Structure formats: C-alpha cells, structure tokens
Amino acid sequence: MAVTSDPNRFARSLFSGLGRRYDLLGALLSLGQDRRWRRQVVGRVAAGVGPADRVLDVASGTAGIALSLSETTGATVVGADLTEAMLRQGAENVARAGAKGRVHLVVARGEQLPFPDATFSGLSFSYLLRYVEDPAATLRELARVVRPGGPVASLEFHVPPSRFWRFWWWGYTRLVLPLAGLLTGGGEWYRVGRFLGPNITAHYRRFPLAWTVEAWRDAGIEGVGVRLMSLGGGLVMWGRRAGG
C-alpha cells in the first residue's frame, strides 16, 4: 500500500477510523515501546520550557504527547493534527484529564501551520515526515514557528541498523503486525499494519537518517541529537531553534 500523490488525504483516510482505540492498540502493537519513546520526546522539550510558555505538538493525534507536555511542564500546549477523527478522541482525552484550559487542539497541516513566526517556546512532532510530500520544507515550516533557542523534538519509527534485528523487524512488521492488527482492531488496523513496514522501509530508502539530520540543520535547528531506541525500531531526534 503506497502513499498516494496527496499524502494528506491518504493520512486522513488511514487514521480516520482509529481514534477510539488508537492509544490502546498502539501500545499493544508496539509491544509497549511507544510509551518509552514518547517520554524521551517530552523530556527533551520539557528541558527548555516552563509554565509561562506555549508549546506546539504537531501530528498530535489523540493528544497523548500534548497532555504529557502540559503535565510535565505546566505550559500551555497546542496540539495540531489534520485528522479530525483523531482530534475528537484527543478532545475526549483532554477533557478526561481535566486539561481543557491547558491543552488546545486545532486542525492544521504540518506543512502549512496557521501561526506567526516564533509563536511557540518549544515544539514536538510525531510520525509526521512519512506523510508529507516534502519533508525538508515541512521541517522549515515547523522551525519557523519556534522562537530562537526553543527546543524541538520528534518521534518516528526506524529500521534497525543491525542485519540480525532488521530480519526480525521485517518479519514482525510484514507478518505479525498486520495479523495482530486484524485480530485486535479489525480491518482498519489490518490496513495500518500492512502499510507500516513497507512505508517505513521506503521512507528511509529515500530519506536516510543522515539526510534527515542535515534537513533539520538546514531548517535552522542546531545541536541536533539522535537516539535509536528499542534495537533501532524507534527514532527520537532533538535540537533547538537557531538564534537563541
């Protein structure tokens, strides 16, 4: 299943039916690793912001990272996502957490954010660059809305660099993940499970990690750091907006 010529439309169609069970099944199908990865992202952003700041979380989905950022830092967090169904579940999660005054959700594209330059003191984004047509341009747009010196951090899947673990990762993503998705979440999760492995592989074939690091730097993000997690299946990156 390939991403179509309109990545935004494809992403909306892929995720529109997943909102209500996204958090539970995401944790299950990632073998619980996504929570560890998210904590790393939150920690990187939290190190540079405080209660008086505003933070943007892009590709916020059901607002998991947005809520964690607010709870950890006391900052006001705006969660942006282009899939309304995911944001509806996010709004329920925000209300359940009693965070309506601190976490605000908006429909927006990462490639064209509806905010002035340097609006936010920090920014996070998750699982975004595989769903945009031009990752480099998207990174420039993300950096644009962060004040100089503000922290930026991201979470993404990755392909294990070790040939041994890559073999098992291939088997899990191509065979186990689609079947587990079907059994636990039905046809919609089977579709996602069947899509993820080939999409992750194709993305890094086109945009290797070294390219991504340079794209962050070219976007105006300095001090770029990289951490591969869970044998290389997860990727956390961080840096700060240049000029601070």
Residue-wise pLDDT for 59-109, tens only, equals 999 999 999 999 999 999 999 999 898 899 999 999 999 999 999 999 999
Pick out the chain residues at pLDDT < 70. Answer: 1-6, 9-22, 24-29, 185, 189
User: Which pLDDT belongs to residue 77?
Assistant: 98
Euclidean distance between CA atoms 129 and 154, whole angstroms: 10
Q: Which domains does the chain have, with CATH numbers?
A: 7-160+207-241 (3.40.50.150)
Q: What is the pTM of this model?
A: 0.90
Query: Rounded to an integer, what distance in angstroms lies between the CA atom of residue 32 and that of residue 191?
Result: 20
Q: HSE (CB half, 13 Å, CA atoms) of 239?
A: 24
Tell me which residue has tokens 């962060």.
146
